[in-house]
Each structure stands twice: as C-alpha cells, then as structure tokens.
Amino acid sequence: MISFKQDAGLCNFQKGACSNTVDDTELSLRITPWNSPSEKPLALSLNSSVALENVKMRIEGRDMFMGIIPVNLSQETETSYKAPLIYGSCSSGYMVWQAIVSYEQGGVEKFTIFEFLADSEKAR
C-alpha cells in the first residue's frame, strides 16, 4: 500500500472535531468514521457556538474537480446539524475534500471551509 504524508492543516477526525472561528462564532465539523472512506456511508455533524440562519453545506474537491456534492443538513438543535454523506473515490490515492459551509448571521452571509482527506488511513 502506498503511504502519503498528510498535510498538517487538514482536519484529523481521529483526534476529534475540526473547528474554525468566523467573527467570534466557532463552527466544528466531525465526520464518522474518522478515516472518511470513499464510496462508503458517512455521518457528518456540524455544530456552532451560536444559533445561525440559512445554514448550507456542499462538498467539493480541493485540488481536482470531482463535482459539487450538496449536503442535506438536518437541524438537530438550535446549534447542531447532521447529514449523511457519500463521495466518490479518486485514482490518485490522495484526495482532499472541502466542506464549504455558508450561513447568515444578522442578515450578513458568511462562510468557512473545512479541508479533510478521504481514506485518511492511507496517510501517515
């Protein structure tokens, strides 16, 4: 099996949720299973430190176009969302995906990006 050195800035779901802060609002993303395998059902959870409006998410390839995957978020609580997710595999063996989250706060649209590696058990 080929082993790749993982980018240090990518989310590492084995260690827990990945967090970004935008204008004092913390958003965290978790994908299970932690190694985010391609072509397998995944469970995604998104949490925010405050209530948000019009929350949307899509998944796209960072370094190559793999299509745009809309994420059908279900609101669980005032600050938490869940969704199922499946994405395709990449022949390169090192596929970085971006979860692009957009939302509104006080009528202003904002966004953040979480980058993560598919099939992360291949990286060391």
pLDDT digits (tens, 9 = 90+) for 44-92: 999 999 999 999 999 998 888 878 899 999 999 999 999 999 887 776 6
pLDDT at 30 exceeding the cut of 50: yes
Checking if the pLDDT of 123 tops 70, the result is: no
Q: What is the 3-state secondary structure (H, E, C) of the chain?
A: CCCECCCCCCECCCCCCEEEEECCEEEEEEEECCCCCCCCCEEEEEEECCCCEEEEEEEEECCCCCCEEEECCEECCCCEEEEEECCCCCCCCCCEEEEEEEEEECCEEEEEEEEEECCHHHEC
pLDDT value at position 90?
A: 72
∠ CA 55-43-3, nearest 5°, is 115
Mean pLDDT, rounded, of the chain? 88
Amino acid at 2: I
Is a pLDDT exceeding 50 seen at residue 2? no
Name the residue with higher pLDDT: 3 or 122: 122
* Contact call for residues 97 and 115 (beta carbons, < 8 A): yes
Q: What is the pTM of this model?
A: 0.87
